A and B are shown apart, each in its own frame.
Chain A
Amino acid sequence: MKKEYRPMALGFWGVGLPLLLFGILYCRTAAQRVTVFLLAAVFFLVGTLICRAKQ
């Protein structure tokens, strides 16, 4: 992982994880749960893409 990008990737994973947890614990309907899970997946994906980005 490029040093310049490390904090950004960690930030995206750091938001994705609580999104996933909050989706499980607090979302009341299927639509809310699907939305929050998809967003969490996007955060993990973007974090991973940043991590693999070439300088």
Chain B
Amino acid sequence: MKLAAVDWIFIVWYFILSIGIGLYYSKRAGKSISEYFLSGRSLPWWLLGTSMVATTFSSDTPLAVTGIVIKDGVSGNWLWWNFMLGGALTVLFFAHLWRRAEVVTEVEFIDIRYSGRPARFLRGFKALYLGIPVSCITFGWVTLAMVKIIQITFGTSGVTALAVCLGLTVFYTALSGLWGVVATDMLLFGVAMAGSIILSVVSVEKAGGIGALVEAVRAAGAGAGKDYLSVFPPLGQALPLAFFVALFVQWWAVYYPGAEPGGGGWIAQRMLAGKSSKHAVQGTLWFTIAHYVIRPWPWILTALAALVVLPGIAAGSAGEMEGAYPRMIAFLPKGVAGIVIASLFAAFMSTIESIVNLSGSFLLNDFYRPFIRKNASEKHYVAASRVLVLVVSLLGAGFSYVLGSVKMGWQLVMELSAGIGLVLLLRWYWWRINAWSEIAALSASAATAVYLKIFPENAFVRWLGSALEGAGFRVDAWGVSILLIVAVTTAVWIAVTFLTKPDDPQKLLAFYRKVRPGGFWGPVARMNGAAYRLQAAPFAGWGLAVLMILFLLLGLGKIIFMEWGAGAAYLAAGGLAALLLAKVIAKIDWEGRR
């Protein structure tokens, strides 16, 4: 595809704007580590929530969703929609606790919650694990997806443009810290959404309009024995195990960047950077709505249009299905194509800048400062942070060369940490969880995942597969391996927790007083002289938040497909759930004073 001069003008203008915004904050970021990694804890809800959703909207996301829709139809999206259950849980039960913890990073939490040498080991290990391999894998798959987009759109000549884009992004991120990241994220999310909406409109036009698109997709589905348009898997057939696992296990068990059980990674970083607990909660709620309701429909529409206008795409390989998204750009008129290309760069940049800032925070705050150089000046630590951001960027760029595919990166991260979610949730609400619990969960999860990679057809897998088939499931290898990893990991960490000593009572008391979590803290609450209550309202709020997201998601889909009556009914139900949720949120004591 050859871009016109006017397209390049928009792309260059977009780069000037976004990099200019990033650089504006470089002076402020240099003041201290708190400024560099947490924006001085001064972010309002709309800024931190938009930054979360901009970061999770990456260059690989529209491609992945396109591949899912072409292969399995709209219902295939439950592979990631299931995380809305965990997202709502984070909003109601964890966002305010993170903000109260007042740590700099997710990993520093270990230092205020656990005691002794196991805690020191766990902090150093997680700083390196999350800061280098996990960050590099994420950086690698995002970059790899962007390389594929560029090659499909421009041919190999575009890779130089990508290298320049990557260099500029890392440059302003290293200088400007989290303020620069979140401020540019605001604009990048706007541009990314604008591009995906424009592409979906042009794609639907190319397919003959919404009415013709629906007819053609239904016909294609009838030929292939699929219902591409159904939001849920078809009833009356064996339930796919992957759907069951997604709905009942994945969202609380699997640690996945951007959807960590109880919050973690860049989600926790932004909650920690909020002005107050309430801003952290409201920002995370805005993220959850934008992430699940607003983002997906333009991609789904483009994917459905691709089914119609790209002959034979449904019979292609997984890579070809994902590549349908950038192929649709060829149908854009001159001038508009530049906006869509800029939107893909925006999606790419918003994720890369967050990854490198976050990994820099782990390596500096949780490894360099506690283990390598204690008590240096803030100026020294900011300079070291900038160097670490550059080092991680170079490692990540290198990793994108060795990573085979985007999907390989996703699966690697998900499988290695598939069973650790429950311990991450319970560590806030149960005093008995200790550093050994987390170490055991991490080790058991990784060991089981590796074992299943080496011996995928072992006796356990065969037994579980046939038992699940007997129970009426349509079994797949992914679902079986996730269930096995979660079962083994949970059994191991619970056993290890009871076989090891509880943490130092004074450490637990200090944590309990600072975070005020409620829940199962019996002996610590007695030491404290008063117990913080686990309020009932968040449970109702969780149900309402899930219903609200689901109804709004369905309503928007119905409206897009011109089913006005059903669309209005779903949106009204979503609106009602939102009103009730707002009342519940107003009732909750987010500061934990009672």
Contacts and interface: CB of A to CB of B under 8 A. Distances in A.
Interface in A9-55: 10-12, 14-15, 18-19, 22, 25-29, 31-32, 35-36, 39, 42-43, 46, 50, 53, 55
B594 to A, nearest CB: 28
A contact face: mostly helix, strand, loop, or mixed? helix
B339 A32 contact: no
Given A32-B201, A35-B198, A35-B201, A11 B335 contact: no
Contacts of B13: 14, 18
Contact of B17 (A11, A22, A39): A11
Contact of B336 (A7, A36, A42): A36
Residue among A15, A27, A32, A36 with most chain B CB within 10 A? A15
A8 interface: yes
Given A8-B183, A15-B17, A28-B333, A46 B201 contact: no
Contacts of B336: 22, 26-27, 32, 36
Nearest to A13: B17
Contacts of B339: 19, 22
B20 interface: yes
A29 B205 contact: yes
Given A22-B335, A26-B334, A32-B333, A8 B187 contact: yes
Given A32-B201, A35-B201, A36-B198, A14 B183 contact: no
Contacts of A4: 179, 183
Interface string B1-20: 00000100010011001101
Given A11-B17, A22-B10, A43 B190 contact: yes
A11 B198 contact: no
A7 B44 CA distance: 16
B290 interface: no
Contacts of B198: 32, 35-36, 39
Contacts of B202: 32
A12 B187 contact: yes
Contacts of B201: 31-32, 35
Given A35-B201, A55-B44, 6 more contacts: A7-B24, A14-B13, A15-B14, A19-B194, A22-B335, A29-B205
13 contacts: A4-B179, A7-B21, A7-B25, A11-B186, A14-B13, A14-B17, A15-B17, A15-B191, A22-B336, A22-B339, A25-B335, A32-B205, A42-B190
